[in-house]
Amino acid sequence: MKKAIKKMTVFLCAILGAALFVLAGCSEEQTFVEKTYDSGDSAIESVEIDVTDRELQIEQSEDGEVHIYYHDSQKEYLEIGVSDDKKLSVKLTMDKDWTDFIGVKPSAEYRKIRICIPQGVVLSLSATTTNEAIKATGLSVAGSLSLNSNGGSVICERIDAGNSIALTAKNGDITGSILGGWDDYTISCVIKKGDSNLPENKEGGEKKLFADCNNGNINIEFVS
C-alpha cells in the first residue's frame, strides 16, 4: 500500500512539473524598449520612487532637470507623473498573468533605472525597491532623503540632505559616505544580524541620520 502511494506521489509530481514547464513555455516573451523621461519646464519639489525588482541608480543631474532612463515592456512598465503639488511619482506596474511569473527574470540591463536629480533643488526624495540595490552617488536634496531596499544593499557615495537622511536595508548592507562631519548629525541606528560602525544613538547634531539594517552590515563614513 505504501509503495503504491509513493508511486502515485511521484507520478503526480512528474505531471505537475511537466505542466509548469509547458505553462512557462507558453508565457509570452517580453520585448523591452529603452525610454527616457525629462522634466523639462515642470517644477519638481519632491520625488517618490516605488518599484520592485529594479536596481536604482540615483545621481546628480547636470542641467537642472530631472531625467529618468529605463526600459518598459508591455507587461512591466513605469508610470511617471507630476501632481499638482509638484511631486514626481515613479511607480512600476506589473500587468501580468500568474503564468508570467514562471521562468527567468528579464535581463539585468532591463531591470535598472537611472535617475538624475538636480543638486540641492528637490526638497525631498524617497526611493524604495525590492531584491535589488540602490546606488546613490553625489546626490543632494534640500530637505529629506530616504532610501529603502528590501532584499538588496543601499550604497551611498557623498550624499547630502538639508534636514535628514534615512537608510534602510534588509538582506543587504548599508555602505558608503555622507557629506559633512560627525557632529552635524543626530544619529539613530538599528542593526540586526550584522555589524555597524555607527552608534545606536548620538545626540547633538542639527541634521538627523537614521540607519536600519536587518541581516547585513552598516559602514558609513563622513567626508568633506
pLDDT in tens, 11-21: 455 554 444 44
Number of domains composing the chain: 1
Residues sharing a CB contact under 8 Å with residue 222, sequence separation 6 or more, in sequence order: 177, 178, 179, 180, 181, 182, 184, 185
Query: Is the C-alpha dihedral spanning 75, 76, 77, 78 positive or negative?
Result: positive
Query: Would 159 be classed as within a structural domain?
Result: yes
Nearest to 87 by CA among 55, 42, 57: 42
How large a percentage of the chain has pLDDT more than 70?
83
Query: Would 2 be classed as within a structural domain?
Result: no
Domain that holds residue 90: 30-223
Query: Would 16 be classed as within a structural domain?
Result: no
DSSP string over 108-119: GGGGEEEEEEET
Q: Which residue is it, cell 548620538?
A: 202
Q: Half-sphere exposure (CA, 13 Å, Cβ side) for 13?
A: 6
pLDDT tens profile 45-69: 999 999 999 999 999 999 999 999 9
**For residue 119, what is the domain's CATH number?**
2.160.20
Query: Would 18 be classed as within a structural domain?
Result: no
pLDDT tens profile 74-84: 899 999 999 99
Query: Would 8 be classed as within a structural domain?
Result: no
The overall average pLDDT reported for the chain is: 88
How many beta carbons lie within 10 A of that of residue 145, not counting itself?
Answer: 28
Q: What is the mean pLDDT of residues 152-176?
A: 98
Q: What local confidence, expressed as pLDDT, does residue 105 receive?
A: 76
pLDDT beyond 70 at 100? no
pLDDT beyond 60 at 96? no
Q: Cell numbers for 46, please give them.
A: 519632491
CA 28 – CA 63 distance, rounded (Å): 40
Query: Would 24 be classed as within a structural domain?
Result: no
Residue 215 pLDDT level (bands cut at 50, 70, 90):
very high
Query: Would 15 be classed as within a structural domain?
Result: no
CA 87 – CA 145 distance, rounded (Å): 14
Q: Between residues 117 and 6, which one has the greater pLDDT? A: 117
Residue 103 pLDDT level (bands cut at 50, 70, 90):
low
Residues sharing a CB contact under 8 Å with residue 75, sequence separation 6 or more, in sequence order: 28, 30, 94, 95, 96, 100
Q: Which of 17-21, 36-40, 87-91, 175-179 has the lowest mean pLDDT?
A: 17-21
Query: Would 6 be classed as within a structural domain?
Result: no
Instruction: Give this prediction's pTM.
Output: 0.84
Strands of 138-173, DSSP E: 140-141, 144-150, 154-161, 164-170
